[in-house]
Amino acid sequence: MNWDIIQGKWKQLQGAAKEKWGELTDDELDQVDGNKDRLAGKLQEKYGWTKEEADQQINDYFRDK
């Protein structure tokens, strides 16, 4: 999915992101506000992933959304 679309639908997609990455809080997801780089940063902090791993997780998850 195009990230412009994801940003526009972020409030609706937050619940799905919360299910996928349960360690992220609602406040953190609000801070992300549909920004892919912010989401990758939060995933790196919570899960200890590299930027590449976080980007891959995001791309795989949102590909079908």
Q: Given a cut of 80, is residue 1 above it in pLDDT?
A: no
Nearest to 44 by CA among 33, 34, 31, 57: 57
Helix, strand, or coil (residue 1) = coil
Dump pLDDT digits (tens) for 7-62: 999 999 999 999 999 999 999 999 999 999 999 999 999 999 999 999 999 999 98
By residue range, what is the domain housing residue 29? 3-62
Residue of 65 and 18 predicted with greater confidence? 18
Q: What is the CATH number of the domain that holds 44?
A: 1.10.1470.10
Under DSSP, the state recorded for 63 is: T
Question: For residue 63, what are its two tokens?
Answer: 């590909």
Question: For residue 62, what are its two tokens?
Answer: 């949102």
Number of domains in the chain: 1
Give dist(CA 26, CA 60) in Å, integer: 22
